Each structure stands twice: as C-alpha cells, then as structure tokens.
Chains A and B, each alone.
Chain A
C-alpha cells in the first residue's frame, strides 16, 4: 500500500508480524506513510489495533518484520515518537504547562528552544490561560488536549493516536477533531490515527487503512480527497463513509 507518488516516504512498515505463542495477531502487514501524511486505521473491534500500535512504537517487540523511519529502524530513543493514549494520561503532579513540556524534557530539548516551543504550543492549543492548573482541576477533554499538545510538542517523526476521542461526547469530539486537523496543518506532523469510528476516520484522514479480523492484515485502502473543512453531510463524504463501512462489514 503506497503513499501518493509525489510525496517523500517517511515511514515504511515491512512484513510486520506479531505472534503471542501460537496466536497470530498481526499477519504480514506492510504499508508506507508519506512525510506529513494523516492516516486513519479502522477495523472491527478486537482486530488487534492496540497490538498494532504497541508494536509500531516498540512498546512490545515485533515477531518479524521491520519499521523504518527515514530508512532507519524505528527506535524510541533515536526517533521522536509520540503517542496519544486512549485514556487521557497526564502526570497528575505536573501542571498543564509542565505536562506539555514533559516530552521535550525527556527528549532533552535545549532549554531556550523548549521554552520557546512550549509557549508557542500552549498558545496554539489555547491552553495558556490554564497553564498553571493541575490535571485534577481541568475536565477530562482538556486533559486529552494536554496529551495531544505534549505529543505535538516533541516535533514527532511519527505521531500515533489510539482512539483519543473515543470516550468523549459528540460535540466535544467534533471540536477536538477540528483542533487536531488545525494542529496537524500548522505543525506538519506525520499522524497515524486509530479509531473504531468510521465517520471520525473519514473526517480527519487523507487515507484510511481498513484492517481485517484476526489475524490482522490490511484489507483495503481508501483515499479521502475531500477538501477541508469537511462536511459530514456532503454526499461524497457519505459515499466514502459507506464504502469504508461495507469494507469493515464484509470480511
């Protein structure tokens, strides 16, 4: 599954396979991601999406296959990977500001660059006013925004998002999806966005990879070449959404 030919390939996933004992979870997955591309991954429940992401970020080792970033084997220590988890994960003892700075601190950004980028990101995400609050003083959706800001702050080579807005109500989700698109357009990150929500996938992504049931492979690829901002009731939008739904339903 290739990226658009006119764009530079950033991430190459080659023959990625993961077995837990005899259980084959990921079956020979290969795909490319272009630099600055926004990819959504959708699949039926329990198809191994989380295993897939954990393998991509090397939280768990792959059985076979490789993940290359700019042609080099992916490694959290050398590459800037960022992850937004399903559960909002802020460090409760750090203020919003320090949480956003956390990734850059771990990555060892020089102090002046860190400060400058921190202010920029806080402003961009609109968190400046509550920068000195602690996570238990802000709402769950804001905690997730902090996590997104922290992920973008490290200038990630690859940003992975695991159903980040799955637990929010529809209104907030729309708002945060728009914000995510704005951040992505401004900061030019390469994003892999995992979701079980087809509408969400069509709304945010440039390209959708549809996963099959276990053992997981990539079943189809759908390009979403709709202009932004996208409309949920645009007939073309609905057409793509239907197509993806069919793909998930008929395995």
Chain B
C-alpha cells in the first residue's frame, strides 16, 4: 500500500527502553511485588508483636494447607470453596439470565420501562442481605435460601447496567442505520446489542462481587459449609489463622472469578483489546 498521510495507524505500543536500575525500580510489575511483599511484612510484624489479635501470614498459610487434607465438617478446603462457588454460580446465573434481558427490554421499550421501573426503583436500594429472613422463611435453611439471596444481589446490577448500556449509545450510530433504511429489528441487532455488550460485562463484574458479599452473609447466618462458614468456625474456636485464611481464600477465588469474566469479555469484545503484534 502506498504510504500516504491518510494511512496512519494509531500506535499503542511503548518504545522498548534500555535496562537500567531505574527502569527496573520503576517497572510496574516490580512495584506490584513491592506492594505485595510490604503488605505481608507489615501483617507479619503486627501479628508477631501480638497486636490486633492477628495470626501471622505463615500460620495462616499453614492452616490453609492443613485444611486441604483435613476435613472440617466433612469437607476439606476445596470442598468448602466449591460449596461457596456453586451457590454463587447458580445464583448469579439465574440473576444474570433474568436481570440482563429485563434491563435490555426496559431500555428498548418504553412500555416495559414504565411498568417495571417504579417497582424496580423501590427495591433497588434495598441491600440484598435484608432478604435473609424472608428467604429462610420461604426456602428453609438449605441451599435454596442462600441461592435466593445471591439471585437478588446479582439481579439488580445486571438490570441497571444493561439498561444504561443501551441508553448511553451514541444516537449517531442509530442515524447511520436509519439513513440506510434499517428497520427497528436491524437497529436492535446491528447497533443496540453489540454496543451494549461492554456495559453488560460491567454489570456482570459488579454482580459477581455482590454475589460474593451475599454468599458470605448467607453462610454466616446458617450453614455447615462454604468459606463464610470457615470464618465463623474460626471465630467460634478463637483461631485467627482460620478466620484470616478464610478471608484470604475468598479474595483469591473471587479474583479468579473476576479474571475469568474479563477473559470472556476480551474474547467477546475484541474491539476493546489493544493491538497485538504491532
């Protein structure tokens, strides 16, 4: 291709810099390590000094490794991780499968919006955990009541983001298809849905983190399994390493969930990626 002024491609890559002491010290990943190691060190010294009733990081890690083989209430650590994850996956799947389409419908159809929105706005600010009593009343203390809390928790951000995702679409994108003579169905499938996709993923991410809050709350109230129960167990036995271990494992598993969602988003929204091989 002739290299003309109009053929410029935007470059997203940084120039490769020579390796100096400053480039190492200033490197993002190096700083990530610094941040993480200082956190562990501070934690260690506070715990070793006997302050704040904490267990040291190594005691916490040892306790978690022990739990991988020793069973607590009939389940080892992985059993408990799965117990919590399963509740989240089921609850989140139901919440998203109902919330996202509802949000899309509300944004695309003003009649649906007019009917649903007042009630939705009423329930929106209510913390999902407020539903715990009702949930136990309706579903008992088994799995369904916990899943129900998660459904409620993940439903709201899904609706909100799907709705916003459609509403913030640049009106000019609709003009493009209208001038071309596109009908309403084409407007929705060619413009609305793909344009809203990143917002749907934002909703999914928020729902995931809300779902973790909900599962914890549900497990703290009534449960014999799950990571929330491990924390309660540690509290009752006055074993800080069990409490901290439970918290650390939650952080790691929640992070994996979030990273997996980002991975799927990158796969489905390739235009949000940077340029490879440039």
Contact = CB atoms under 8 A, between A and B. Distances in A.
Interface residues of B, number: 32
A102 B7 contact: no
Interface string B1-40: 1101111111010000000000000000000000000000
A126 B6 CA distance: 10
A93 interface: yes
A2 interface: no
A77 interface: yes
A107 interface: yes
A59 B5 contact: no
A80 to B, nearest CB: 8
Contacts of B172: 85, 87, 89
Interface in A78-108: 78-83, 85, 87, 89, 91-95, 102-103, 105-107
Q: What does DSSP make chain B's interface, helix, strand, loop or mixed?
A: helix
Contacts of B6: 141-142, 145, 172, 175-176, 179
Given A92-B271, A145-B6, A172-B6, A106 B186 contact: yes
A171 B180 contact: no
Nearest to A128: B1
Contacts, number: 102
B173 A91 contact: yes
B180 A154 contact: yes
A184 B11 CA distance: 31
Nearest to A136: B271
Contacts of A81: 179-181
B176 interface: yes
Nearest to B11: A137
A215 B122 CA distance: 49
Contacts of A126: 1-2, 4, 7
Interface in B167-195: 170, 172-173, 175-183, 186, 190-191, 194-195
Contacts of B9: 130, 133, 137-139, 142
Interface string B97-132: 000000000000000000000000000000000000
A134 B269 CA distance: 11
A94 B175 CA distance: 17
B195 A171 contact: no
A87 B177 CA distance: 15
B221 interface: no
Nearest to B187: A106
Given A87-B172, A91-B191, A139 B10 contact: yes
A137 B10 contact: yes
B275 interface: yes
A57 interface: yes
B72 interface: no
Contacts of B94: none
Contact of A107 (B5, B7, B181): B181
A59 B194 contact: no
Contact of A133 (B179, B182, B194, B275): B275
Interface in B197-252: 197
Nearest to A86: B172
B175 A134 contact: no
A76 B180 CA distance: 6
Given A76-B181, A130-B9, A137 B275 contact: yes
Contacts of A129: 1, 7
Contacts of A95: 271
Contacts of A79: 181
B7 A59 contact: no
B270 A107 contact: no
Contacts of B170: 89
Contacts of B194: 91, 93-94
Best-surrounded residue of A75, A106, A126, A135 (most CB of chain B within 10 A):
A106
Contacts of B190: 91, 102, 105-106
16 contacts: A59-B175, A78-B181, A81-B181, A83-B175, A91-B173, A92-B195, A92-B271, A93-B195, A93-B269, A102-B180, A126-B4, A137-B10, A141-B6, A142-B7, A145-B6, A176-B6
Interface of A: 57, 59, 75-83, 85, 87, 89, 91-95, 102-103, 105-107, 126, 128-130, 133-139, 141-142, 145, 154, 171-172, 175-176, 179
* Closest 8 pairs between A and B when the two form their complex, measured CB to CB: A76-B181, A83-B179, A134-B271, A77-B181, A93-B194, A129-B1, A139-B8, A106-B180
Interface of B: 1-2, 4-10, 12, 170, 172-173, 175-183, 186, 190-191, 194-195, 197, 269-271, 275
Given A76-B181, A89-B173, A126-B2, 5 more contacts: A89-B176, A91-B191, A139-B10, A142-B9, A176-B6
